[in-house]
Structure 1
Amino acid sequence: MKNLLLFLLFLTSLNIQAQIQLKITDQITGLPLENVRARSENRSFQKTNASGILAFPGENLRISFALEGYETLERYFEAGEHEVLLIPTVMNLGSVTVTAFDSERPLLEQSAAIVQVTERDFSRFNEISPVNAFNQKAGVRIEERAPASYRVSIRGSSLRSPFGVRNVKVYWNEVPFTAPDGTTALNLLDLANVRSSEVVKGPSGSIYGAGNGGAISLFSQPSLTGNRVSADFLAGDFGLSKYRLGISQQLGEGGIEASFVSQKSDGYRDHSAVDRQVFQLGSFFPISEKQEIRTQFLVSDLDYQIPGALNADQLAADPTQARPGSAAQNSSISQQAVLLSLGHLYRFSEKTSNNTTLYLNTNDFENPFILDYKKELGFGYGLRTKFGYNGKLAGKSLRLVAGGEYQNSLTDAQNFGNRAGVADTVRFADKLRAYQGFLFQQAEWNLTEALLFTLGLSENFSGYEIDRQIDATGGATGIQSRDFDPVIIPRAALNYRLNSFSSVYGSVSGGFSPPTIDEIRTNEGSVNLDLEAEKGTNFELGYRLGREKLNLELIAYYLKLDQTITTYTNENGVVLFRNAGSTDQKGIEASLDYALLRNAGGFFKDVLIGTAYTGQFFTFKDYQKQDNDFSGNDLTGVPPNNLVTRLDIRTRPGIYANLTHQFTDEIPLNDANTVYQDTYNLVNLRLGWVKNLGQWDLELFAGVDNLLDESYSLGNDLNAFGGRYYQPAPTRNWYGGVKLGWNY
């Protein structure tokens, strides 16, 4: 009996001593990775040593891994020795997986122009806006006419966006962030609310509905890399200050994440201050092996002043001045918004699943302008659902996706006179309704091991209702509505894998973009129900090469756009809209990334270089207004050439440098092509030091924007009355800050 007890005690001690020993290495170089943060499901936290090794007691544990510059990873491990390969965030395209078009595949297998913008891209700059990070990607451009006033252009799609984001569909954590009227208040989000993003370039109506420009998916889902408290602070020229507080808490197999961000600045120009606070609370909870629940709660409070555009004489005299009258009338925007969403994933089987997201939002908007004062109070709701199936057809892999999306918004909108920045007598008041919905279906079939065929289709419907309650001019009141005819949008594509590291693809896709309610109902009270929706057809060819140290992407496309919507301003500065016949938009995009060093053993750990070229040769094909024939002219607001070059250096001691140069060609500012913005060269530099101190992470950084002190406008007013085209961007300016994180 005594021997039996000793034997049982021996077995128990073996079980107690069971452990999981891990060696973490770089997938490309095979070299060990130091200071990788690893956390087990029982919340035990460790970091790898200089040999990339750590150990957890126990067996059958789920362990997550995180290291700056690498994709996060989560896996189950049994007792024993294991090697874990982490994937660098900048590496060969064959290992970079994207989820655009509801197709989770490596980028080499995607039959569309898709680009990722990651945390590493954001942290190359000052992190106060998305502008610089997105603008380093071929075919993508965000303009900032004034601080926090964004205009997104994917392949020149900002032509009809005098303010705000239009003609591009934006999602945030799978929630449609674009309103059903087609506008997107991107400035309600801070970069702290965006961990990564994917940009689909060109018409994407087969999956994402309205928009010829493309789609942007933003993600900030809670990470399961452990419990963490973090604080960031940044300060810079022109009264800039920003701080962020964040917490990430693992709860069982799920977790919650909360953050609060405050950003303020006085602005480079007179009357261009910004004040924004954003609170976000997100959660992720696996209910069972079959079900997952996700929630998001966002509260945003934004105030920013609008300095207005200048003419050439005003620009030459003093680029920091505001447009006369802007300050006196308190031209500005105040907006408070709340968004609540609930997402549910259900796996019926290994082959079939459903993912549904519901959302509610509210919006309180005030916009004093030089000529009027606008107030809007809105409420919206919507959902997006999709069913997925992974199986086989004729022995070949088959993926099917089918679903739908619906959005509805109700708004009380009032326009007043503006007396020294105070709302005066009401001019007109409307109750507005906008709705938009579509059904979509997509099939991906591997005809051979190397050839993937994609066929997608969506059926779209949308409309507006304008119920005029008050018209001080004595005009008619009552309901006016516009329902756009249902539109069927197809997409067909082929992707052929030439070998394990390269592929070619071709696609034909359709798109459409109805006018937004702000384009139909303008600030001076007119309602233009005759404005037609844009319709486009896009033909595209692409080549991708992804090796261990080299990424190359070449894309050529031709977009034919009918009923193109363009802007012009009247003598009072009110922006109006009109259809301009058709346009021909031919373009090429080239991106090259090369790793001179990747996780090297010497002083220099990483040395990465990259370049992105965008050629946009867009012209009006058929555009005649009254006695003016603009056919053959270059498309307004689109630079024909743009070139971005990047250099990133990281060292073993933690010192890093990020250098970016951007060349932008001259930009036509009116349809007649008689006024241009000059070419400019923009250089940005950020230096920093990152250090891991046990459970603490520390980063110190400083940088300079517009190092060459160029005079330019990052977003002009197009076809402006009185020559008020120019929105001067800041001159050379400095910033610096600190980031501190505690992993507990």
Structure 2
Amino acid sequence: MRVTIAFICFLLPIILIAQISPKDSITQLEEVILTQESIPKKATGITPSSTISTQSFERFNPTDIPSAMNQISGVYILSGAINTNRITVRGIGARTPYGTNKLRMYFNGIPVTNGTGSSTIEAYDFENLGSVEVIKGPKGTVFGSNLGGAILLDTKPSVEDETQLLNSFSVGSYNMLKDNLTFSHSEKDFKLSLSYNHMETDGYRQNNQFNRDGILLNSQFKTGEKSSIAVLVNYIDYTAHIASSINQTYLEEDPTRAASNWLAAQGYEANKYLLTGLSHTFQFSEKLENTTSIFYTYLDHYEPRPFNILDEYTNGFGLRTNFAGNWGKSQFTFGGELYKDEYHWGTFENLYQENDGNGSLQGDPLSNNKEFRRQFNLFGTFTYLVTSKLSAQLGLNLNKTFYDFRDLFNQGENNASAERDFDAILLPNLGLNYQMEDGKIYANISRGFSNPSLEETLTPNGIINPDIAQETGVNYELGSEWLLFQKRLSANVTVYRMNVKNLLVSQRVGEDQYIGRNAGKTRHQGLELDLQYRGKLSQTLILTPYLSYTLNDHSFVDFVDGDNDYSGNPLTGVPMHRISSGLDVQHSNGLQLNLTHQFVDKIPLTDANSAYSDAFNVFHAKLGYRTSISQNISLGLNARVNNIFDSNYAQSVLINAVGFGGAQPRYFYPGNGRNYFGGVKLNYVF
């Protein structure tokens, strides 16, 4: 019923607006198309993908990248806190306890997913992003063929032939303060962008403070008529206190509470993250070009937790090269990607209970480990124009993964050092695209995989499990994209089915101890619908209603856990229905109103489907104004209210939570209550 009402609320303004036929509709249409096409597509050839731009980001709080990305059908970010995000794509990744894996992430074309497949989107400042492109499922051959697909983050491009200084300052509820200062310069053969960002907030809940500083350098310069070099440096230093998940009673009675043990330990994580990359592009001819990147990443992570203190650091480095060209009626790409990292981690006693209420206190060491991880991808695609309307694309990816785990703490028989060398896996991909006057129809079949995380490769005794296997799956997809009503309405609809075997299951054996095993098969099938209408009501007023709808019919096909048979149950951690909708109202005087809405259906919290989260609706509104103060200075003002009706809901959930010592299971991460923020943007053009 709620889903039906949301559809009616969205379609009604479209029907009304469609009756209006402005005289200059053709002129306005051209502006819309040019705006959308100004974002270059990174997905290769005819590979379908979804992209959101700066315009979509600006509908939301500058600290809230999950809400922006949740506008994409099939993509859902469960956000427990600013530093705790779990990205799921078509249900893939929903069983990961805390972070994001089973997909591959790139930042300005450089891979930023670590050696076991973990990605952290919170390492990047929302306001520095110009676009986010998502390839759903394993069809992105050039970007790893992971079951969850690929997420391609790109920074804002410099304005051609301009030098400018931009400052964006925001304040809000929970003592939130954020500032982003950017200097950019662009000329014929040289581009430079340098940003500094700072954010701090006390958070909605107890023990929820967050403080971050970051620097981003992005530069491109010509080294010859056919070659150019790009330099990228991204540094983030943040400390985030951890409120953790809470039980049903706390969620209903006081969602601002932190978990009692995390509050007593004053648990937090401190991170220093560095990404550096150097890319060289060379155009051999009009028909062949190569881009080669070398990169280095460093993460220093310290996390006092109630059960122990984790101290770790990771050095990662790699190389990626990609050739792209044309050959007659065909286009091709081929290349390779090598990523290696060294992961050092140890745990210590946390003596917070003996620290007179002052929080965590490091005690004796409990473990000391080192792991070398290596992943190698070879890839290639070939796209052929069969007729003037029909294109076919063949892709092939070869992956090889290796883990070398070294126990530096235990000696003799207790030493758990071991190696795990996964067999090479071949991942083919076939796509078809038929172009019509008002749209296109496409079909795809592709094979993908997911590597087990570090925790999933280990037994409870810390020994590498030699029997753990990679998840594999085959994805079938049929979709279409249309421009209707004089190309004012864009409509995209996709149906898919993905069969996954060797399902990786993280089984909880302690308060923060998980082991992995392969436990059967799942079937992911669903429908994704994206609608957007742009109507010009008058010479001065433009209305843009939009809607993204996701139907997830995901289930266990074969899943037996001990004496329990969960075969046929809906997949844990995935809502069946999800809607992201909104209305943008833009006036020619610079005034703009954004109304946004999200509906999330109930989510199964256990494999037995014995507990569910409640479905919820949450509404937001933002009012903005932009004007030019002088020829060189422009001003932007905005004010926003989030969660207008002060809904009490779970913004993220922890599946299969266990209540230790008779306590209730802690399934829920509460969403923020009603809150406010406002901001000022100043732009000076030299």
Same fold, judged at TM 0.5 (above) = yes
Q: Out of 173-182 and 325-334, give the one that drifted further.
A: 325-334
**Native 8 Å contact 1:613 1:642 kept in 2:** yes
2:440 maps to 1:515: no
Task: Name which of 675, 678, 684 aligns with 1:733.
Answer: 675
The Cα shift of 1:368 comes to 1.3
| Counterpart residue number, 2:613 | 677
| Counterpart residue number, 1:647 | 583
| Counterpart residue number, 2:539 | 601
| Counterpart residue number, 1:440 | 379
Deviations 1:611-637 (A, max 9, x none): 111000000000001110000000000
| Counterpart residue number, 2:255 | 319
Task: Name which of 431, 437, 450 aligns with 1:493.
Answer: 431
| Counterpart residue number, 1:330 | 266
The Cα shift of 1:137 comes to 1.4
The Cα shift of 1:100 comes to 3.5
User: Are residues 328 and 154 of structure 1, via their aligned partners in 2, closer, same or farther at CA, if it must alter by over 3 Å?
Assistant: same
| Counterpart residue number, 2:420 | 482
| Counterpart residue number, 2:117 | 182
The Cα shift of 1:162 comes to 1.3
| Counterpart residue number, 1:419 | 351
Task: Name which of 10, 16, 30 aligns with 2:27.
Answer: 30
| Counterpart residue number, 1:715 | 652
**Native 8 Å contact 1:211 1:513 kept in 2:** yes
SS of residue paired to 2:637:
strand
**Native 8 Å contact 2:145 2:427 kept in 1:** no
| Counterpart residue number, 1:656 | 592
| Counterpart residue number, 1:122 | 57
Counterpart of 1:175 in structure 2: which amino acid? I
| Counterpart residue number, 2:396 | 457
SS of residue paired to 1:711:
coil
What is the percentage of aligned positions where both structures have the same residue? Answer: 30
| Counterpart residue number, 2:331 | 399
Task: Name which of 266, 270, 290 aligns with 1:354.
Answer: 290
State how far apart, in whole Å, the 2-side matches of 1:378 and 1:120 are. 35
**Native 8 Å contact 1:468 1:477 kept in 2:** yes
| Counterpart residue number, 1:43 | none
State how far apart, in whole Å, the 1-side matches of 2:151 and 2:433 are. 22
User: Are residues 524 and 190 of structure 1, via their aligned partners in 2, closer, same or farther at CA, if it must alter by over 3 Å?
Assistant: farther
- Report the aligned-residue RMSD: 2.0
Counterpart of 2:144 in structure 1: which amino acid? G
State how far apart, in whole Å, the 2-side matches of 1:316 and 1:520 are. 37
State how far apart, in whole Å, the 1-side matches of 2:510 and 2:399 are. 37
State how far apart, in whole Å, the 2-side matches of 1:134 and 1:301 are. 23
SS of residue paired to 1:136:
coil
2:128 maps to 1:193: yes
Counterpart of 1:285 in structure 2: which amino acid? F
Counterpart of 2:501 in structure 1: which amino acid? D
State how far apart, in whole Å, the 2-side matches of 1:522 and 1:140 are. 32
User: Are residues 684 and 522 of structure 1, via their aligned partners in 2, closer, same or farther at CA, if it must alter by over 3 Å?
Assistant: farther
SS of residue paired to 2:651:
coil
| Counterpart residue number, 1:11 | none
Counterpart of 1:492 in structure 2: which amino acid? L
**Native 8 Å contact 1:520 1:531 kept in 2:** yes
Aligned positions of 1:351-390 closer than 5 A = 351-390=287-326
The Cα shift of 1:574 comes to 2.9
Deviations 1:139-187 (A, max 9, x none): 1111111232111111112323212210111000000011122111221
User: Are residues 27 and 364 of structure 1, via their aligned partners in 2, closer, same or farther at CA, if it must alter by over 3 Å?
Assistant: farther
2:41 maps to 1:99: yes
Counterpart of 1:720 in structure 2: which amino acid? A
Aligned positions of 1:491-640 closer than 5 A = 491-499=429-437, 501-521=438-458, 525=462, 527-547=464-484, 548-597=487-536, 600-602=538-540, 604=541, 606-640=542-576
Q: Out of 196-205 and 637-646, give the one that drifted further.
A: 196-205
Task: Name which of 334, 340, 347 aligns with 1:408.
Answer: 340
SS of residue paired to 2:625:
strand
Deviations 1:245-283 (A, max 9, x none): 110022552111000000111111101111111101110
Aligned positions of 1:68-83 closer than 5 A = none
User: Are residues 371 and 692 of structure 1, via their aligned partners in 2, closer, same or farther at CA, if it must alter by over 3 Å?
Assistant: same
SS of residue paired to 1:669:
coil
User: Are residues 388 and 681 of structure 1, via their aligned partners in 2, closer, same or farther at CA, if it must alter by over 3 Å?
Assistant: same
Counterpart of 1:167 in structure 2: which amino acid? K
Task: Name which of 367, 370, 380 aligns with 1:428.
Answer: 367
Deviations 1:639-688 (A, max 9, x none): 00011211000102111100111111110011000100011001111111
Aligned positions of 1:180-329 closer than 5 A = 180-204=115-139, 206-209=141-144, 211-220=146-155, 222-225=157-160, 226-329=162-265
The gaps in structure 2 that reach 5 residues or longer are: 1-22, 353-359, 660-664
| Counterpart residue number, 2:3 | none
**Native 8 Å contact 1:398 1:443 kept in 2:** yes
Counterpart of 1:287 in structure 2: which amino acid? T
**Native 8 Å contact 2:47 2:139 kept in 1:** no
User: Are residues 263 and 579 of structure 1, via their aligned partners in 2, closer, same or farther at CA, if it must alter by over 3 Å?
Assistant: same
SS of residue paired to 1:519:
helix
| Counterpart residue number, 1:53 | none
| Counterpart residue number, 2:627 | 691
Counterpart of 1:519 in structure 2: which amino acid? E
The Cα shift of 1:205 comes to 5.5
SS of residue paired to 1:271:
coil
Deviations 1:706-731 (A, max 9, x none): 11211111111110001110111111
SS of residue paired to 1:591:
strand
The Cα shift of 1:516 comes to 1.6
Counterpart of 2:306 in structure 1: which amino acid? I
**Native 8 Å contact 1:717 1:725 kept in 2:** yes
The gaps in structure 1 that reach 5 residues or longer are: 1-25, 32-69, 71-84, 104-109
User: Are residues 715 and 739 of structure 1, via their aligned partners in 2, closer, same or farther at CA, if it must alter by over 3 Å?
Assistant: same
State how far apart, in whole Å, the 2-side matches of 1:187 and 1:475 are. 41
The Cα shift of 1:415 comes to 1.1
Q: Out of 294-303 and 475-484, give the one that drifted further.
A: 475-484
The Cα shift of 1:308 comes to 1.4
User: Are residues 273 and 27 of structure 1, via their aligned partners in 2, closer, same or farther at CA, if it must alter by over 3 Å?
Assistant: farther
Q: Out of 453-462 and 702-711, give the one that drifted further.
A: 702-711
SS of residue paired to 1:365:
strand
Task: Name which of 56, 79, 85 aligns with 1:144.
Answer: 79
Deviations 1:417-437 (A, max 9, x none): 111212211111111111111
Counterpart of 1:481 in structure 2: which amino acid? E
Aligned residues: 648
**Native 8 Å contact 1:620 1:634 kept in 2:** yes
2:677 maps to 1:742: no
| Counterpart residue number, 1:51 | none
Q: Out of 610-619 and 308-317, give the one that drifted further.
A: 308-317
User: Are residues 161 and 193 of structure 1, via their aligned partners in 2, closer, same or farther at CA, if it must alter by over 3 Å?
Assistant: farther
**Native 8 Å contact 1:210 1:514 kept in 2:** no
State how far apart, in whole Å, the 2-side matches of 1:647 and 1:277 are. 33
State how far apart, in whole Å, the 2-side matches of 1:208 and 1:250 are. 29
**Native 8 Å contact 1:129 1:148 kept in 2:** no
**Native 8 Å contact 1:595 1:607 kept in 2:** yes
State how far apart, in whole Å, the 2-side matches of 1:279 and 1:350 are. 36
**Native 8 Å contact 2:331 2:384 kept in 1:** yes
**Native 8 Å contact 1:613 1:643 kept in 2:** yes
| Counterpart residue number, 1:80 | none
